[in-house]
Structure formats: C-alpha cells, structure tokens
Amino acid sequence: MSNSKKNKKGGMSPNAKANIRLGAQSLINNAACVELGRHKPWYGAVISAVLAVLLAITPIMVNNFKVKGGDNFFGAYTFGYEEGLVHFQDAIEAKGVSIKVDTEAKELKVDGWDNFKQTGEPYDITWYRHVNTSTDPANPYIDFEAYYINGDDDYFKTAVDNILSCKTPTGIQRYAEYTKPTEYGSMMHSEKREVSETSEAPSSTEESVASSESSTAPVTPTYKTNVLILGNTKFTAYKFSTSSTQGTGGYVYLYDRGESFTFNEKFKKDSTMTQSAYVEHVENCWRTFMNDAYETNKNNAAWINIGIMSGVFTIFIVLMGLLVFLMTRGKSNPFRIYTFWECQKIAYWASFTPGVLALALGFIPLFSTYTMFLFIFLFGMRLMWLSMKTLRPDATPSK
C-alpha cells in the first residue's frame, strides 16, 4: 500500500503533524516563531495575531460589561447619600411634588417642582436642599441637594457643569450660605461672609467665597455637597466626602429600562418600616433603578472601549513586527536577509502567548486593575526575549 493511501486512511499527514507541533512549540520557543514566520503560510500568522487580540481584550470586555451604575455608586462609602435621598423623598411628599419615570417615552415627568422655590438675593432657590442640624447644631450645613433641569440635553450638560462649579444651574455664582434653618429642609435667607487674609475659609460643606472692601481676600467657592441632578431624558449623581471637593459618581443614567413608576410609589415609606429599614429600602430601590438606568450607556461605552483597545493591540502587534525588522537591519547582522513581511509574521506568531497570559492574569483580582496594559507589557517582554536570544547578531539565522 502506498504512503498516500496510508495518509488518506490514517487521516493527518506528517507535514500537518509537523506544523501543529511547530505551532505548539511557538508558545514558548522563539525559534519556532521565526521558523513559522519565515517558511509557513501567512494566514496562520494572521490567525495567531487575531486570536491574541481576542484573548487579550476578553478580560477588558468582561470587566466593562460587569459595571453596575447603582452598585458602584452605593459602594463602600456613601457619605450619607442614602440619607439625603430619604430627606428628598419626604420633601417631595410634603411639598406635593410629583415625579414620574416613563420608561416607554424615555423621559421624566415632573409636576409641582416650583413648590421648592424660595425667593432670595442674589438669586432664587429653585432646587431642593436639606440642612443638617443634627451633626453640629451650632453650625448647620447643607448636606444634600436635588435639581430638576427642564431643558434639552445641551442645557442639561451646561447646568451640571455650572452646579459642580459652585454656580446656579443658569450660571450665577453662588456664595457661602450661612443660615438658621427654620423648618425641615428649607432655609429662610442667605448672606455673604467676609473672610480676612489670615483667617481660615468658612467650614460650609456647600461653598465659600469672600467679599470685602479693603483687607479681605477672595476665597474660591468649592462645591462639596451630595447632589442629584434630574433632567428630562437623563440624570446624574455625585457624592462628596466631608474632607474632599472631588465628587465620586458622575455616571449618566437614562430613563429607558424597567417598568415606569412614580417616586411617590416606589420610594415611599411603608407604615411598618422603622427609620433604618426605610433608609435601606430607599437605597436598595435607587440602587436597582440606577443599575437599570445605566445599562444602555454602559453597553455603549463598553463596545467603544473594546473597539479602541482592539485597535491599540492590533497596532502594537504591527509595530512590534516593525521593531523586529529594524533590529535586523545592521550591515553585519546575519538576520538582515529577513524581509519586512517575514518579520511581521514572526511578531504575529509571538503575540499568541502574551494573549493567553493576558487572558489568564486579567481575571485574577490582583491584576484586574491593569487589564488594559497586561498584553502590551507581556508582548513587549517576549519581543525583548526574542531579540536577546534568538535574533542576537551572533546567533545563526534560520534558513
């Protein structure tokens, strides 16, 4: 019986077995990468590079799609945000404000928000704010604010920027408000406080600024109050610790998931609830609501990030192939016989192992923060190893 008949009957040819063996060796053997790159078909190298990119982006993809807008916001430290939501819920019921999330129309419907309005100088208060009088009765301060921005998306973005810059939604500069609260959740008036050059800035958690005629110096207003900003088609939220003016949060949430509901129904206190149970109930409801509301933007951001990182990894592999080509260009370098395309294929074959390692390490908590850089680091290390061992000038080139 001829050898060809034996191969047909037995299945895989000796040449195919040799190629598979060489491919397996390329996982740890740089010489095998060189052999594959120089003498084997181009499509094997391209498939190796594509698989390397897919493996490297898998942990990034999983981490992006695991993000939960509500769970992340109500993380280890809430800085009393859930208490602020409870006060806000009590206030909208007391003031007769109706807020409905319509997920079919993908919009927020608000009625009676003007009930929060307070006339004052130099601007009217058109938002809800809660005054904390329990922590330090002698120095009450605002610890939560809620805004409703009635306008299009551009107006919403501008209003958010203004609020976080210590301005009103319309852009009027706000000043430190030192007041004596006379009723739950409201303030009667505000006044500007003078601060001398040698004095410390006011301790208000909302903002501070100085105004004077002679020996006083301006103090930059700083916004550091927990805040909820509701828009017609989206909302956002920030929480601030008492020791920082850098807020955490900032996700943009949409009203496009889940069932439609009203704040008065969903977050309302049941008559059987204790106060602590009520706070927990409100936090859990908002957590679920924010998880659903962030889903669309999360998916969009995830796919954009995956596309960007796939492009970055692909370009990096091509650049490493160029680097291999440049490293072998010396006049006396025995590897200068390697063509540009052969150097590219060598890099493509060498990229697979870093892709596998990036996949494995990316799911280990210790390395989860560095998933975007693992492949680049590992591939760079392998190319360095290849250049120092297999492609060093005094080595024998592959024939």
Same domain assignment for residues 130 and 238: yes
Q: What local confidence, expressed as pLDDT, does residue 97 receive?
A: 93
Count of domains forming the chain: 2
Q: Which residue has the tokens 């206030």?
A: 91
Choose the final residue of a domain: 232, 266, 295. Answer: 295
Residue 397 lies in a domain: no
- Tens-of-pLDDT digits for all 399 residues of the chain? 455 555 555 567 777 777 777 778 778 787 888 888 888 888 888 999 999 999 999 999 999 999 898 998 888 788 889 999 999 999 999 999 999 999 999 999 999 999 998 887 677 888 998 888 777 777 777 889 999 999 999 999 999 999 888 888 988 887 654 333 333 233 322 333 333 233 333 333 333 222 323 333 344 456 778 899 999 999 999 988 765 556 677 889 999 998 999 998 999 888 888 999 999 999 999 999 999 999 999 999 999 999 999 999 999 999 999 998 888 877 777 778 888 999 999 999 999 999 999 999 999 888 888 888 999 999 999 888 888 776 766 655 555
| Cα gap 283→269, rounded to integer Å | 12
Residue 71 lies in a domain: no
Torsion of CA 185, 186, 190, 195, to 10 degrees: -10
Per-residue pLDDT tens digits for 312-333: 999 999 999 999 888 887 777 7
Per-residue pLDDT tens digits for 239-267: 887 655 566 778 899 999 989 999 989 99
Choose the final residue of a domain: 242, 261, 295. Answer: 295
Q: What local confidence, expressed as pLDDT, does residue 374 receive?
A: 92
Same domain assignment for residues 290 and 311: no
Q: What local confidence, expressed as pLDDT, does residue 191 receive?
A: 30
Same domain assignment for residues 92 and 218: yes
Same domain assignment for residues 243 and 264: yes
- DSSP codes, 18-59: HHHHHHHHTTT-HHHHHHHHHHS-HHHHHHHHHHHHHHHHHH
Same domain assignment for residues 116 and 8: no
Q: What local confidence, expressed as pLDDT, does residue 179 receive?
A: 36
Give the closest residue to 58 by CA, choosing from 318, 350, 369, 372: 372
| The two three-digit tokens of residue 297, written as one number | 């933007």
β partners of residue 118: 125
Instruction: Please provide the size of the chain in residues.
Output: 399
Residue 396 lies in a domain: no
Same domain assignment for residues 134 and 244: yes
Contacts 24+ apart (CB under 8 A), 76-80: 77/239, 77/241, 78/239, 78/283, 79/226, 79/239, 79/240, 79/241, 79/242, 80/143, 80/144, 80/226
Same domain assignment for residues 271 and 232: yes
Same domain assignment for residues 49 and 108: no
Residue 395 lies in a domain: no
Choose the final residue of a domain: 276, 295, 314. Answer: 295
Structural domain boundaries, residue 348: 3-66+302-389
Q: What local confidence, expressed as pLDDT, does residue 392 receive?
A: 65
Same domain assignment for residues 235 and 291: yes
Q: What local confidence, expressed as pLDDT, does residue 107 receive?
A: 95
CB atoms within 10 A of CB 264: 15
